Structure 1
Amino acid sequence: MHRRRRTALVLTAAIAAAAPLLTACGSDAHPGAAAVVGGQRITVAQLEGRVDEIRRAQRAAVPDEAQYQQVLASTSSLTRDTLHNLVLDRVLHRAAQDAGISVTRKEVQQMRTDLEQQAGGAKGLETAWLQKYGIAPAHLDENLQLQLEAQKLAKKLGTDTSQPAFWKALSKASQELRVDLNPRYGAWDVQKSSRVDVKTPWVREVTTSVAGGQPMTS
């Protein structure tokens, strides 16, 4: 798994785990749901809407058609990657809540200011987050809040985001939330708090239209 593409959190390594516990939800059990996290649905429509936002931002950032086609080719798994991010965001937030961690708006704004200075301005930061992590500009602040939650959680645990202790906390949150993925998008590895592909020959690959009229297979 290319974690840099799959999550915009500063989480650089997965834990080496024993046999993973996988969960998956069928379309019959949760019609219209891409995933169910903590009893709350992430609908297919919500997922496709988020993907469309990213594609529109990519299209605006790369007006050259040939270059845009290269972007599409390099992000062909965007739908599944985006769902991974949406689920992991909720898992991390739960882990932070369990640890009594909160993040203020002022902290988010300070982090954004610091990053903008490093990136050469607001536009530079938005472009960097879009290209590296698949985060549309409208959701940048949400992601920065999660970045801070991850940092604070790791600090409270006396570790960093690459170490097993951190991922153990996320695994516990995954179990508490009883993450279910629609099999068309794979399954959720509870131990690693990560989406994984599963062989489901009876499930048709999802194809969705994206901005600019380009088809994309998840």
Structure 2
Amino acid sequence: MHRRTALSVSAALLLAAPLLSACSGEARPGTAAVIGGERITTSALQAQVNDVRTAQNRSEHAAELIAAVPQLDRVKLSTMLQSRILDRMAKDAGITVTPKELQDARKAYDEGNRGAAAFEEAILQKAAVAPDQIERWVRDQVLFEKLNAKYGEGKLAEPAAKAAAGLGIEVNPRYGVWDPQRVTLGEHSTPWITQVTRPEQPPTGA
């Protein structure tokens, strides 16, 4: 399988068609969203936000990083929902990921970005992913590549729609409304899954 190795945040990849209709009714107290009958609690979401802000504050570019993502809670909730959609797509397709595949993928990202520290800084800057969130991010990239290999490049809209329809998503209005066209919350432009391509030069800030 072709391995894409360098970080790039180009565009949302998966969707040419709407994935799902979000419910905007009253959310249960302490619930940020519900997907597949599973609650994403506000405390779990806030933990993700805090991890990113802590990592950003450690950077020499802290002020810029924080200012670039003012609605971080929406960004992280969108990412959490989208990861679960990918999991369902993989399950429907009979796709699994081994620890060795994840290890190899992480190694490729590190090498493609001149080391682990530079990769962590780049992904924090480009995708608001904290170091302890990288494992899930890498898993999403591997799943996406495997799904592309199964269905073909640019042909994931139908299986994505099927997977999302089977999950059902309710979002607490506090965090916005799920946009099925852009597969994100509210008007934030963070892509559903970050495309990664073979590097021709190191990412900015790496």
TM-score under structure 1 length normalisation: 0.75
- For 1:170 and 1:60, how far apart are their aligned partners in 2? 37
Change (3 A) 1:155 1:88: same
Change (3 A) 1:38 1:86: same
**Greater relative CO, 1 or 2 (CA 8 Å, sep 6+):** 2
Aligned position for 2:156: 166
- For 1:148 and 1:187, how far apart are their aligned partners in 2? 28
- For 1:167 and 1:81, how far apart are their aligned partners in 2? 22
Aligned position for 1:151: 145
- For 1:44 and 1:188, how far apart are their aligned partners in 2? 17
Aligned position for 2:49: 51
State the shift of 1:9 in Å.
8.6
1:183 to 166, 173, 179: 173
SS at match of 1:42: strand
AA aligned to 1:22 is S
Checking the alignment, whether the CA contact within 8 Å between 1:96 and 1:153 is kept in structure 2 is yes
Aligned position for 2:22: 23
- For 1:98 and 1:21, how far apart are their aligned partners in 2? 17
What is the number of equivalent residue pairs in this alignment? Answer: 180
State the shift of 1:155 in Å.
0.9
| Bigger mean CA deviation after superposition, 69-78 or 182-191 | 182-191
Checking the alignment, whether the CA contact within 8 Å between 2:27 and 2:172 is kept in structure 1 is no
Q: Which has the larger radius of gyration?
A: 1
- For 1:184 and 1:177, how far apart are their aligned partners in 2? 21
Report matched runs for 1:19-168 at 5 Å: 22-26=21-25, 28-62=26-60, 67-157=61-151, 159-160=152-153, 163=154, 165-168=155-158
- For 1:35 and 1:106, how far apart are their aligned partners in 2? 32
| Bigger mean CA deviation after superposition, 187-196 or 72-81 | 187-196
SS at match of 1:30: coil
- For 1:192 and 1:22, how far apart are their aligned partners in 2? 12
Change (3 A) 1:14 1:195: farther
TM-score under structure 2 length normalisation: 0.79
Unpaired runs of 5+ in structure 2? 1-7, 188-206
Change (3 A) 1:29 1:13: closer
Identity %, equivalent residues: 34
C-alpha offsets along residues 72-122 of structure 1, whole Å, 9 cap, x if unaligned?
Answer: 221102110111000000001111110000000100111111111111111
State the shift of 1:21 in Å.
5.2
RMSD of aligned residue pairs (Cα, Å): 2.3
Unpaired runs of 5+ in structure 1? 1-7, 198-218
State the shift of 1:10 in Å.
8.0
- For 1:145 and 1:192, how far apart are their aligned partners in 2? 21
